Amino acid sequence: MLDIFRSHVSSKNLIDPQCTYLLACSGGMDSMCLGNLLTQAGISFEVAHLNFQLRGSESIGDEEFVRSWAKDHGLTFHLKQADTESYALARGISIQMAAREIRYAFFEEIRAAQNLHGILLAHHEDDQLETIFLNLLRGTGIEGVYGMADRKGWLIRPLLPFSRTDIQSFMELNQLKWRDDSSNNKSDYKRNNLRINGLPAIYNLEKDARKNLLTSFQRLKDTGKAFSGLFETWKKTAIREESNFQFLAYESIQNQPGAATLLYFWLRLYGFNSDQTQVIASSLGQPKSGVVFKSATHLLHFDRMELILAPIVEDFKPILIRESDSGLSLPEGQFSITPQKWPAQLDKNPMHAQLDTARLEFPLQIRTWQEGDKFVPLGMTSSKKISDFLIDSKIPLAKKRDVKVLVSGKEIVWVIGLRIADWAKCTPATQRMLYIKKT
């Protein structure tokens, strides 16, 4: 096993012989196996043990066992005694979750303080199978079969290719000691129940069940990674981005095989769950403009021809512009405000406004448009409702709510980013203009 271990960590670049690591050691068979393999392989490491104080004298015995083993091997020993029950109660979480949070926080604290190259964990092949089955039971989809990575950030799992049987054989052959955790024999927890009852029953169904499962999970993992690449290619061609908005035309998704999965991979990054994406996918057959789905951070709008993803933004608070102001900041960007002589070069950019200063009543105000707002668009002689103007301008529903107007007195001067009011334009009689320009 030692030769296979050396070959594995070398080929996967998991452990650098020139660096020092932190071994997470409970005293159980798995972590003691890893510790002894590291010692025999000549790897430099320190030892961290966490006493969760959940099993009385057993916990004390584990602590003393690991401390003694580390001392016998001349290894630096780090210990934390945690009040796990109080931690869980204070945060309203389970004992298992509390233990997990405490464990990884402690290991990372030591790693960072000692400037160690990684945290070595003793998860093995059986743990991997249990994790995959639990993921599938939780409905995690194809990514659930990925299981635990052999390396993720500072966390390193060098024993994933080895089974529990391999580990026990190594320990017994080398007459090495370990501590048994009595709680592992209780089927109260899902993982224990699966290990004690579930997986043995599955293995009994087929002679090579374990081998076949590992092979199938690896193929599914490869398929998932291939799909991820295809998804990224599809996303680049199908999804258009403008500012903080994303647009997906119905025709780019409606007839795609696995449309719900494509939607999920896109929208999960913005807080949407699989149940929502299933409903969204089923709505694509007959999309209804105006329908909105909401996550904690984003809104997905069904518009006339496309889906529009938009971030949820706080309500815009009106801004006053005084005659002396030289600039302003809006969600759309920074704007300069400059008094100038007229005539000047005409600027037709809809994000810029050239206004006859003599017609303006200061302070001006910028606010979000409201139902009932009207103005006379440049080039027209009669007023038009802003709501109708936005429809005529083909502004998507998702963007309408963020449209802002510049107001002078009670009159709308400019629908920002679209058009100024005809009455506020500069004419041959204009002497001074106010030039508002996005910088």
Containing H/E element for 80? Answer: strand 77-81
To the question of whether residue 27 is assigned a binding role by annotation, the answer is: yes
**DSSP three-state, residue 202:** helix
Burial 250-281 (b: 16+ CB within 10 A, else e): bebbeebeebbbbbbbbbeebebeeebbeebb
The Cα–Cα gap between 338 and 335 comes to: 10
Report the alpha-carbon distance of residue 300 to residue 281 in Å, rounded: 12
- Distance, CA of 172 to CA of 175 (rounded, Å): 5
Residues near 200 by beta carbon (within 8 Å), at least 6 away in sequence: none
Q: Which residue in 277, 429, 406, 254 sits closest to 358, CA to CA?
A: 429
Q: Is 34 helix (H, G, I), strand (E, B) or coil?
A: helix
Find, among 276, 204, 278, 264, the residue nearest to 231 by Cα: 264
- 31 marked ligand binding residue: yes
- 28 in a labelled binding site: yes
Beta pairing, strands 44-51 & 77-81 = parallel
Report the alpha-carbon distance of residue 152 to residue 150 in Å, rounded.
7
The token pair at 131 is 């994790």
> For residue 61, which phi and psi values (nearest 5 degrees)?
-60, -40
Between the alpha carbon of residue 294 and those of residues 270, 286, 300, 312, the distances in Å are 10, 19, 6, 9
DSSP-derived letter for residue 314 is: P
Q: Confirm whether residue 97 is marked as ligand binding.
A: no
Angle between helices 84-91 and 95-114 (to 10 degrees): 110
Question: Binding site membership for ATP: which residues?
Answer: 26-31
Annotated binding-site residues read 26-31
